[in-house]
Structure 1
Amino acid sequence: MKQYNVLIVDDIPKNIQVLGSILAQTGYRVAFATNGQDTLKLIDTNHFDCILLDIMMPGMDGYELCIKLKQNMRSAEIPIIFLTAKNDQESILKGFEVGAQDYVTKPFSAPELIARVKTHIDLVEKTRELANLNIHLEDKVRLRTIELEKANRQLANIEKAKNDFLSIISHELRTPLNGITGLTGLLNQTLLDKEQREYLDYLNQASQRLVRFSDTALLITSLQTKNQRFDLFSVSVPILFEMALDQMEMQLKEKSIVVHTSPQVNKLTVEADADLIRKCLELMLENAIYHLPTHGSVWLTASKEGSKTILSVRDNGAGFPEQLLSHMRDDLINEVLIAYEGLGLSLAAVKLIMKIHNGNILVGNHPDGGAVVSLIFDHIS
């Protein structure tokens, strides 16, 4: 158990003897001085945990000595308890003003004296422990902050590298794909037999699909890096549907897909970026067409439900596998990509576009059969 040092300062030896006996019996180590000068010399060469200081001393009294002790760096934090025969408010108040922490009155009560000394030593110890703990915690926080900043920089670098990679890959794909598309167009004008034309059509469809894949990857990169321009206006839903259908006209004709629109479409508008929402609808139509048989059907519908406007693309194909739908959550776009060919990347782009519109997407199967993908807008014109 730690033993604490107490300094008794009193010009009366009998008082020193009484106080020293009480403290020694309680386990304290005791030193003493009978005047201010001796006290200051002891402070310079010794460590004390508490000072008992008599007020009424010849020469330098207790008040003056207390001031000097509080001005000395070695003793500034040591608790000082005044010893006084005076019990008047003025003397006690003056003691506190010059820096004392407490007082005991003469004649001394041993239990009171021990309690006060213990209380102030414990208080200093706890304060010191708390200060050390704060320093330790500040060091840990500083270290964690440095580690977090480093991790954030690494994540930012990884994200940038990923986006740069996607951008480079997409651009690198576009160059040869444009050449392939051009060549297939030229070959289509030459004399080919039926089998060759079928191969050429397959090559053309595959290259066009890769071009759209590249465009979607670039769009996702642009959305993730916030480089995509975003202009919000009131847009007519029929115009949005018309723009998307115009872009997908060739694919619709190739598979003889029948397109249906609901009458309510003509009455609705949404607050949106027309180009981005058109792109959403194109991606939704592309996926529907890709998974539909020849002569399939697509429905473009729009409705209002309370404060929301919902634009949907539905088909009469096989619909989404139940296993896929059961795992369709916000954080599983990559799983969707693996589970269902052609859907995941498009959904990732659609989801990002709807996110910047403060909206959402809903994916499911229609009760009458086929898949349904819906855009849900919370802001209505």
Structure 2
Amino acid sequence: MDGFEVCKILKENPETRDIPVIFLTAKADMNSIVKGFAVGGQDYITKPFNASELLARTETHIQLHEQKIALAKMNEILEEKVKERTLQLEKAYKRLNQLEKAKTDFLDIISHELRTPLNGITGLTTLLNLTKLSEEQQKYIHYLEDVANRLTRFSETALLITNLRANRSQPDFLPTQVKYIIESALKQFEENNRGKYQSVQLEMKEEDLLVAANTTLVKKSLEMLMDNACKYGGSDVNIRLSLSSNGNQIILSCSDDGPGFSKDSQKRLFELFSTGDVLHQEGTGLSLAAIKLIMDYHNGKIEVNNKKGGGALVRLIFNRE
């Protein structure tokens, strides 16, 4: 048995395979040197040899071996840490999914539970309007109608969110002129608010722009933006809708001269049940969350900013087909 066979046996044994092997031999031919490294040798020294060089090489290989062992131990520690962290993240992700599901389920429930009593209230106010009422009674009926309409819109928004989050709505995009969506949303907004607010200004730089979209959802987005502007900007708020394009993007903008968004609210604008889109500490914060989902549905994006002169600016950005 020669040194090559000994080295081969050592390297085949799991208990000795990591021991560094240095060949010290008189065989200086290239075939022997190559064979020495092929069977697992770490170094190959031919005779005659220098003792100092041999000791230096031996010390180097011992250090490399120790570093290899230390690195392996460090890898084991890191792998264990990664496993622990992965488990923590999986638990957190599962918990987050449970919370998101609870929110969605809650919205689903309240959207359905509100409909029956709201239908009753709406029917009752309609009947009362057919009777002879005093001026004060009419005022209360109108107030009741406004509250019922607000709750109806809330219910519709809640149902919309649950459908979008559950992917119940399949993409049904049709090429449509954007100006028609804007005009339809504006008409619905004015009908809902009965002229309580100042007229909305329109600015359409390009009236013939086409977008592949679900027109109902885009229209709903604009209605919610205008409702928010009026609700928190007051009856004197000025609203401007504008349509423009930038390269492959179609941009729908809604701006107002209301109070704008607080710094704290800007951090939670698209969270369900946050007060991010209500400007003050009130409300449920569903509108911007719903609009964000609608834009995600269209592979678009929403940008929300405060204007330098005061007020808010919300831009809905669609990709041109």
Same fold at TM > 0.5: yes
- 1:14 — aligned with what? none
Aligned sequence identity (%): 45
User: Please, which runs of 5 or more residues in structure 1 have no aligned partner?
Assistant: 1-59
- 1:170 — aligned with what? 111
CA distance in 1, matches of 2:93, 2:51: 62
Contact 2:197 2:230 in 1 (8 A): no
CA distance in 2, matches of 1:125, 1:132: 11
Task: Verify: 1:269 aligned to 2:210, yes or no.
Answer: yes
CA distance in 1, matches of 2:313, 2:40: 77
CA distance in 2, matches of 1:247, 1:135: 64
Alignment partner for residue 162 of structure 2, among 221, 232, 248? 221
Task: Verify: 1:200 aligned to 2:138, yes or no.
Answer: no
Counting only pairs closer than 5 Å after superposition, residues 1-381 of structure 1 correspond to structure 2 as 60-106=1-47, 109-253=50-194, 255=196, 258=199, 261=202, 266-290=207-231, 291=233, 293=235, 300-305=241-246, 307-313=248-254, 319-321=257-259, 324=261, 329=266, 331-333=268-270, 334-339=275-280, 344-357=285-298, 358-362=300-304, 373-380=313-320
SS of the equivalent of 1:234 reads strand
Of residues 174-183 and 83-92 in structure 1, the stretch that sits farther from structure 2 once superposed is 83-92
CA distance in 2, matches of 1:63, 1:303: 79
Instruction: State the Cα distance separating 1:263 from its structure 2 match.
Output: 6.9
Q: CA RMSD of the aligned region, Å?
A: 3.5
CA distance in 2, matches of 1:115, 1:305: 69
- 1:24 — aligned with what? none
CA distance in 1, matches of 2:240, 2:200: 6
Instruction: State the Cα distance separating 1:103 from its structure 2 match.
Output: 4.2
Normalised to the residue count of structure 1, the TM-score between the two structures is 0.68
User: Please, which runs of 5 or more residues in structure 2 have no aligned partner?
Assistant: none
Aligned residues: 315
Relative distance call for 1:201 and 1:128 in structure 2 (3 A) is: same
Normalised to the residue count of structure 2, the TM-score between the two structures is 0.79
Of residues 235-244 and 250-259 in structure 1, the stretch that sits farther from structure 2 once superposed is 250-259
Relative distance call for 1:277 and 1:73 in structure 2 (3 A) is: closer
Instruction: State the Cα distance separating 1:94 from its structure 2 match.
Output: 4.3
CA distance in 2, matches of 1:365, 1:87: 82
Instruction: State the Cα distance separating 1:96 from its structure 2 match.
Output: 3.8
Contact 1:280 1:350 in 2 (8 A): yes
Higher RCO (C-alpha under 8 Å, 6+ residues apart):
2
Of residues 211-220 and 239-248 in structure 1, the stretch that sits farther from structure 2 once superposed is 239-248
